[in-house]
Amino acid sequence: MKLSFWQSSLAAFLLCAPLAAQGVDASILLKPPADSWPGYHGDYSGQRHSALTQITPDNVKNLGLHWAFQTGQVKQLKCSPLLVDGVLYITVPDNVWAVDARSGHQLWHYTYPPNKGFNIGSRGVSMYKDWLYFMTPDAHLICLNASDGKVRWDVIVADSKKGYWTTMSPLVVSNHVIVGVSGDFDNLTGFLKSVDPETGKTQWVWNATPPVGTPGATSGGMTWMTGTYDPTLNLIYWGTGNPTPVLTGKPRPGDNLYTCSIVALNPDTGKLAWAFQPSPHDTHDWDAVETPVLVDATFKGQPRKMLMQTSRNGYFFVLDRTSGENLLTTTFGPTNWAIGLDKKGQPIPDPAKEPASDGRLIAPDEGGMTNYRSPSFDAKTGLFIVDAHPSYGIYFAKPADGNFGWAGADYGVWGKGVLEAIDYQTGKIRWSHDLGPGGSGAGVLTTDAGLTFTGDSTGNVMALRTADGKTLWHAGTGEQMQSSPIAYELDGRQYILTSSGGVMFAWALPE
């Protein structure tokens, strides 16, 4: 083939110059373009809402499978995929894949060496410039080159021999990679750590609880999940987990700050700005690590910068995120463990509902009214949509169980799955949609077209109309969704990504 001067010049130019800016910078994280999903929640707000409108309530019935990616793993996908420059990054414990978002074919696969950490789940990687950040079952933070999956550095975040492990997707804020830890089979201090994205060096540490062994003090407060960020206030918002010992409260009297709390920290210093505690003196393993969703809207006629959380303990909270002031506290399913609210709007636990030797029937169960998968906020309807789990469990503890780690026993009795659409102004449930016996556990994504994507307890992925919860589309995927959906647009085509088992599915309208 003979090329004209202009054609050959153009070809030469294309060969020499990169096609586009690569990687993630602050502007992408602050305002993710439609062809990206550059952080765990997409943007920093935690709303898990997409502005895309190609897939609508009218045409969603035509949605079909564009590709599926098989990890070939028994380990289930529990990650939120990251999408940058047309490449998806997905994870299960000890494994990262780079996958072409257009075709679903693998670009590279990184495996972490065998280790003794807990394989509970991996929520995904995060990205800064051209580097990926991946946390391991034995509590290491690995920096990988996004183009080939090669290790740049590997630092220890916490001592896995003491009982720590990690599952979360780090939060990248300016030049901080903010990581959290897990572990409650031992009495350990929960903490957040800020790491330098270039060197892996620690920038600051914030401890949720006093040093282990402090008389009368609690331990615990694990920082399981990815927080959210308000760039104007320059505060990160993070949920902390349960106190330890878990089911026995006697050795740790009082509220047990800052366990089961929502904390606001300065991302540059780790300094605490304020804290709110969804579960003071928890004895039911109800981490308050569900997404702290940031919403700017009016509340009772007044413009507010809010933070909303559907907490594992069955309560829905609306806070003013500048100060932590409580605006609304309500339940979103059956609860029987609190005797009222304190003046800060926090539930007051009923001492008669602490685990006991002959058992206490508690609503919700230990899995909670919701768990780690994301809810979604839809601004147009003012609905906070969450996978709820009305449930009961029985809780036991007696002196022979000791004061270390679990220190008791509990058993789920009954539960079901219900998608609930909560009006944030009133806390009233505007509609609910049954998801089947047992519970679903799927995350939720809403879009500007008025669609809600989630899954049911039998493995169906579904699209509902956000306004009223009516089912408009579904497909059986064989196993329950254990992750939260994302959406993106490439080449003028909108994709919805969901996973179940070890398979990632990309759904789109016919070409």
Q: Write out the binding residues for another protein, residues 308-337 only, by CB under 8 A.
A: 334, 336
Point out which span in 26-34, 240-248, 256-264, 294-302 binds another protein (CB under 8 A).
Answer: 240-248
- Spatial distance between the Cα atoms of 38 and 43, rounded to a whole number of angstroms: 7
- Residue 14 neighbours by CB under 8 Å, 6+ apart: none
- State the DSSP H helix or E strand holding residue 14, giving kind and residue range, or none if neither: helix 5-16
284 contacts: CB under 8 Å, gap ≥ 6 = 242, 247, 313, 337, 355, 362, 366, 395, 410
- The burial class, CB within 10 Å (0-12 / 13-18 / 19+), for 201 is exposed
Applying CB under 8 A, among 3, 26, 351, 414 the residue interacting with another protein is 414
Please tell me whether residue 50 adopts helix, strand or coil conformation: strand
Q: How many chain residues interact with another protein (CB under 8 A)? A: 75
Helix or strand (DSSP H, E) at 420: strand 409-423
Q: Does 252 bind another protein (CB under 8 A)?
A: no
Q: Is 196 a catalytic residue?
A: no
Q: Are 462 and 456 in contact (CB under 8 A)?
A: yes
β-pairing verdict for 49-50 and 445-447: parallel
Residue 119: CB minimum distance to another protein, A:
4
Among candidate residues 282, 285, 378, 410, the one labeled active-site is: 285
Q: How far is the CB of 16 from another protein (least distance, A)?
A: 48
Q: Please list every residue from 265 through 304 that binds another protein, using CB under 8 A.
A: 285, 287, 289
Per the listing, tokens 């920082």 go with 223
- Which one among 233, 394, 467, 509 touches another protein, defined by CB under 8 A? 394
> Residue 117 interacts with another protein (CB under 8 A)?
yes
Residue 477 makes contact with another protein by CB under 8 A: no
CB 495 within 8 A of CB 69: no
Q: Is 352 in the site for another protein (CB under 8 A)?
A: yes
Q: Which one of residues 400, 491, 510, 511 is an interface residue with another protein (CB under 8 A)? A: 400
Q: Per CB under 8 A, does 363 bind another protein?
A: yes
161 is a contact residue toward another protein (CB under 8 A): no
- Picking from 452, 459, 442, 448, the residue whose alpha carbon sits closest to that of residue 473 is 452
Residue 64, interface with another protein (CB under 8 A)? no
Q: Does 140 bind another protein (CB under 8 A)?
A: no
Span near another protein by CB under 8 A; candidates 22-30, 147-155, 171-179, 181-189: 181-189
Are residues 79 and 91 in contact, defined by beta-carbon separation less than 8 angstroms? Answer: yes
> For tokens 């920290």, what's the residue?
265
Q: How far is the CB of 29 from another protein (least distance, A)?
A: 25
Which of 5, 74, 215, 303 is the binder for another protein (CB under 8 A)?
74
Indicate the residue among 35 and 479 with the shorter CB distance to another protein: 479
Distance in angstroms (rounded) separating the CA atoms of residues 503 and 70: 5
Q: Which one, 477 or 494, has the nearer CB to another protein?
A: 477
Which residues are known catalytic residues?
A: 285
